[in-house]
Amino acid sequence: MKISKSEVEKIAHLARLEIKDDRKEKMVEQLGNILQYIDKLKDAHVGGVGFSSGGAMADNVLREDRPEVSPGPSITLANAPERDDDFYVVPRVVK
């Protein structure tokens, strides 16, 4: 599948990327190669291959759950943009 320079510019705009003019031709070539490879995947024979849910098949590795002493509000609120005593102050979201 071919991709044009104008399509590269549109993709860059949507992705909020600034691409210099001298790099756009290289991007046309690289994105064209990627799309050609993806186009080949539609011809892959996948008959008899079962569905899988990927990560759901793996076991979770969890740390031991043990109680620890809280560091207290002076530490947990140290980087809060705004606070009132021991509480975070956030913008109101419900009227």
The set of residues, in sequence order, having a beta carbon less than 8 Å from that of 82 and lying 6+ positions away, is: 88, 89, 90
Give a yes or no: residue 57 inside a domain. Answer: no
Unique residue bearing structure tokens 């098949």 = 57
Q: Residue length, the chain?
A: 95
Instruction: Provide the residue range defining the domain that includes 21.
Output: 5-41
Q: Alpha helix (H) ranges present in the chain?
A: 5-14, 21-41, 73-76
In this prediction, residue 50 carries a pLDDT of 78
CATH number at residue 26: 1.10.20
Give a yes or no: residue 26 inside a domain. Answer: yes
| DSSP symbol at 85 | T
In this prediction, residue 53 carries a pLDDT of 67
Give the tens place of pLDDT for each residue, 8-50.
999 999 999 999 988 999 999 999 999 999 999 888 888 888 7
Give a yes or no: residue 32 inside a domain. Answer: yes
Contact of 30 with 5, CB cutoff 8 Å: no
Number of domains in the chain: 1
Give a yes or no: residue 13 inside a domain. Answer: yes
- Whether 54 has a pLDDT exceeding 80, the answer reads no
Reported as a pLDDT band with limits 50, 70 and 90, residue 57 is low
Write down the pTM of the prediction.
0.47
The set of residues, in sequence order, having a beta carbon less than 8 Å from that of 81 and lying 6+ positions away, is: none
Contact of 28 with 8, CB cutoff 8 Å: yes
Give a yes or no: residue 10 inside a domain. Answer: yes
